[in-house]
Amino acid sequence: QVQLVESGGGLVQAGGSLRLSCAASGSILRMNTMGWYRQAPGKQRELVATVISGGSPNYADSVKGRFTISKDNAKNTVYLQMNGLKPEDAAVYYCSVDIVAADGDRQRCWGQGTQVTVSS
């Protein structure tokens, strides 16, 4: 059973920074597409950033130049560095990873979500 555990959310003042982490555990052969999504109250979940293994990252226009997605294959962990946070960035952030398990099974896994609050 593959699990994703997120950490790093919290309360920060506008203009501040946070780094979110998403660690995958279990029998993992490979992590393919990795992404971060967010959902604010009353809004639909939206894509923030994605990166395909071996590819270049893609970002929502609203976070370009401020957020950076990265990964550590050795640790099976994906990160989201968030700089210049704005009140409109406040949301629950979810990581999503397309995983190939050791037995060859492919599945999309989601983290439990971590709250990001930005005070103005």
> Residue 59's Cα: distance from chain center in Å?
11
CB-neighbour burial class of residue 65 (10 A; exposed 0-12, middle 13-18, buried 19+): exposed
Average pLDDT rounded to a whole number, residues 25-52 = 94
Give per-residue pLDDT as tens, 53-101.
888 999 999 999 999 999 998 999 999 999 999 999 999 999 999 999 8
Tens digit of each residue's pLDDT (9 = 90 or more) over 37-48: 999 999 999 999
